[in-house]
Amino acid sequence: MRRPHRHSSKHSSDKHDFFDSLPDDVVLFILSRLSASASSPRHFITVLLTCKRLNQLGLNRLVLSRAGEKMVAVKANSWSEYAHRFLRRCVGAGNVHASYTLGMIRFYCLGNRGSGFKLIAQAASRSHAPALYSLGVIQFNGSGGSKSDRDLKAGVALCARASLLGHIDALRELGHCLQDGYGVNRNMAEGRRLLIQANARELAQVIRSVSKSLPSRLCSSMMKWRVHRRHANDACQMEWSCPLLSDYGYNVAVPDVHPANRFLRDWYESGRGVLGEELRLCAHIGCGRPETRPHEFRRCSVCGKVNYCSRGCQALDWKLRHKMECLPVEGWMVENVGVGGDAVREGNGEGGADVVAQDVAAG
Q: What is the mean pLDDT of the chain?
A: 78
**pLDDT, tens only, 235-279:** 444 333 334 444 444 444 556 789 999 999 999 999 888 888 889
Per-residue model confidence (pLDDT) at position 322: 84
Statement: residue 328 has pLDDT above 70: yes
Number of C-beta neighbours around residue 193 at 10 A: 13
**pLDDT, tens only, 139-149:** 999 998 888 89
Per-residue model confidence (pLDDT) at position 255: 61
**At 96, which helix (H) or strand (E)?**
helix 96-108
Question: What are φ and ψ of residue 236, in 5° steps?
Answer: -90, 140
**pLDDT, tens only, 268-307:** 999 888 888 889 999 988 899 999 999 899 888 888 888 9
**pLDDT, tens only, 78-133:** 899 999 999 999 999 999 999 999 999 999 999 899 999 999 999 999 999 999 99
Quote the percentage of the chain above a pLDDT of 90.
44
Ranges of beta strands (E only) in the chain are: 225-229, 236-240, 298-299, 307-308
- Model confidence at 330, in pLDDT bands (50, 70, 90)? low
Question: What are φ and ψ of residue 227, in 5° steps?
Answer: -85, 130
Q: What pTM does this model have?
A: 0.77
Compute the distance between CA of residue 142 and CA of residue 148 in angstroms, rounded to an integer: 7
Higher-confidence residue: 312 or 173? Answer: 173
**At 47, which helix (H) or strand (E)?**
helix 41-48
Per-residue model confidence (pLDDT) at position 17: 63
Angle made by CA atoms 263, 55, 32, in degrees to the nearest 5? 70
Higher-confidence residue: 37 or 328? Answer: 37
Question: What are φ and ψ of residue 274, in 5° steps?
Answer: -120, 125
- Model confidence at 55, in pLDDT bands (50, 70, 90)? confident
Statement: residue 2 has pLDDT above 90: no
